[in-house]
Amino acid sequence: MFSLDTLLVLVVAAPLAAAVLTAALGRWYLRRHAHWPALVAVAVSLAAAVALAWQWSAGLPALPAEEHHAGQTATEHAQHEEPTQPEEHETAGERYLGREHVVVLWRWAAVQGAWGTPPFVIDVVLRVDTLTCLMLLVVNLVGLLVVLYSVGYMHDDPGYWRYFTYVALFVFSMNMLVSVSNFLLLYVFWEAVGLCSYLLIGFWFQRPAAADAGKKAFLVNRVGDFGFALGVFLLWSALGTLNFHDTVLPDGNLVPGVLGQHWLSMPVPYGGAWGSRVAVVVACLLLFVGACGKSAQFPLHVWLPDAMEGPTPVSALIHAATMVTAGVYLVVRTAPMFLVSQSAHLVVAAIGGLTALMAAFIALTQTDLKRVLAYSTISQLGYMFLALGTASFAGLAAGMFHLFTHAFFKALLFLGAGSVMHAMGGVIDMNRFGGLRRRLPLTYWTFLLGALALAGVAPLAGFWSKDAVLAAVHTRAMENPLGEGYLYLTLYYTGMVTALMTAFYTFRAVFLTFHGEERLPEEAHGHAHEGPWWMTVPLVLLALGAVGAGLLGGPITDWLRHTPSLAFAARLTGTGHHGFHWQVAALSTAMALGGVALAAWFYLAQRQLVASLAETFRAAMLYQLSYGKLFLDEIYTVLIVIPLRVLGWVLFILDQFLIDGLVNLVGYLVRALGGLFRPLQTGLVQFYALAMLLGLLVLLASMLRWPLG
Contacting positions for another protein (CB under 8 A): 678-679, 681-686, 689-690, 693-694, 696-697, 700-701, 703-705, 708-709
Least distance between another protein and beta carbon 203 (Å):
51
Question: What whole-number distance in Å separates Cα of residue 305 and Cα of residue 376?
Answer: 10
| DSSP string for 451-518 | HHHHHT-TTSHHHHHHHHHHHHHHHHHHH-TTTHHHHHHHHHHHHHHHHHHHHHHHHHHHHHHHSSS-
The answer to whether 2 and 10 have CB atoms below 8 angstroms apart is yes
Q: Considering the complex, state which of residue 113 and residue 683 has its C-beta at the smaller distance from another protein.
A: 683
Burial of 206 (0-12, 13-18, 19+ CB in 10 A): exposed
The answer to whether 462 and 588 have CB atoms below 8 angstroms apart is no
Q: Considering the complex, state which of residue 620 and residue 680 has its C-beta at the smaller distance from another protein.
A: 680
Nearest to 349 by CA among 283, 302, 279, 396: 396
Least distance between another protein and beta carbon 671 (Å):
11
Least distance between another protein and beta carbon 687 (Å):
8
Q: Considering the complex, state which of residue 478 and residue 696 has its C-beta at the smaller distance from another protein.
A: 696
Exposure string for 670-683, b = 16+ CB within 10 A, e = fewer? eeeeeeeeeeeeee
The SS3 assignment for 182 reads strand
Other C-beta atoms closer than 10 Å to the C-beta of 459 total 12
Q: Considering the complex, state which of residue 92 and residue 701 has its C-beta at the smaller distance from another protein.
A: 701
Contacts of 81 (CB under 8 A, 6+ apart): none
Burial of 625 (0-12, 13-18, 19+ CB in 10 A): middle
Q: Considering the complex, state which of residue 590 and residue 689 has its C-beta at the smaller distance from another protein.
A: 689
Q: Considering the complex, state which of residue 72 and residue 682 has its C-beta at the smaller distance from another protein.
A: 682
Least distance between another protein and beta carbon 708 (Å):
6
Least distance between another protein and beta carbon 682 (Å):
5
Exposure string for 58-90, b = 16+ CB within 10 A, e = fewer? eeeeeeeebeeebbeebbebbeeeeeeeeeeee
Least distance between another protein and beta carbon 691 (Å):
11
Between CA 332 and CA 73, with CA 570 as vertex, the angle to 5 degrees is 135
Least distance between another protein and beta carbon 693 (Å):
5
Least distance between another protein and beta carbon 676 (Å):
12
Question: What whole-number distance in Å separates Cα of residue 370 and Cα of residue 608?
Answer: 24
Q: Considering the complex, state which of residue 28 and residue 677 has its C-beta at the smaller distance from another protein.
A: 677
Between CA 373 and CA 400, with CA 370 as vertex, the angle to 5 degrees is 30
Q: Considering the complex, state which of residue 639 and residue 689 has its C-beta at the smaller distance from another protein.
A: 689
Least distance between another protein and beta carbon 677 (Å):
9
Nearest to 19 by CA among 34, 35, 38: 38
Least distance between another protein and beta carbon 678 (Å):
5
Least distance between another protein and beta carbon 707 (Å):
11
Question: What whole-number distance in Å separates Cα of residue 475 and Cα of residue 576?
Answer: 8
Q: Considering the complex, state which of residue 278 and residue 690 has its C-beta at the smaller distance from another protein.
A: 690
End-to-end CA distance of the chain: 114
Question: What whole-number distance in Å separates Cα of residue 484 and Cα of residue 383?
Answer: 18
Question: What whole-number distance in Å separates Cα of residue 516 and Cα of residue 518?
Answer: 6
Q: Considering the complex, state which of residue 58 and residue 701 has its C-beta at the smaller distance from another protein.
A: 701
Rg of the chain over all Cα atoms, to the nearest angstrom: 31
Question: What whole-number distance in Å separates Cα of residue 614 and Cα of residue 180?
Answer: 49
Burial of 451 (0-12, 13-18, 19+ CB in 10 A): buried
Sign of CA dihedral 596, 599, 602, 605: negative
Least distance between another protein and beta carbon 692 (Å):
10
Question: What whole-number distance in Å separates Cα of residue 428 and Cα of residue 392?
Answer: 41
Residues recorded for the chain: 709
Q: Considering the complex, state which of residue 609 and residue 698 has its C-beta at the smaller distance from another protein.
A: 698
Q: Considering the complex, state which of residue 619 and residue 699 has its C-beta at the smaller distance from another protein.
A: 699
Q: Considering the complex, state which of residue 664 and residue 681 has its C-beta at the smaller distance from another protein.
A: 681
Sign of CA dihedral 339, 345, 346, 349: negative
Q: Considering the complex, state which of residue 105 and residue 698 has its C-beta at the smaller distance from another protein.
A: 698
The answer to whether 373 and 412 have CB atoms below 8 angstroms apart is no
The answer to whether 385 and 349 have CB atoms below 8 angstroms apart is yes
Q: Considering the complex, state which of residue 252 and residue 683 has its C-beta at the smaller distance from another protein.
A: 683
Q: Considering the complex, state which of residue 478 and residue 694 has its C-beta at the smaller distance from another protein.
A: 694
Least distance between another protein and beta carbon 668 (Å):
16
Other C-beta atoms closer than 10 Å to the C-beta of 105 total 13
Least distance between another protein and beta carbon 695 (Å):
11
Q: Considering the complex, state which of residue 582 and residue 677 has its C-beta at the smaller distance from another protein.
A: 677
Nearest to 567 by CA among 201, 207, 95, 246: 95
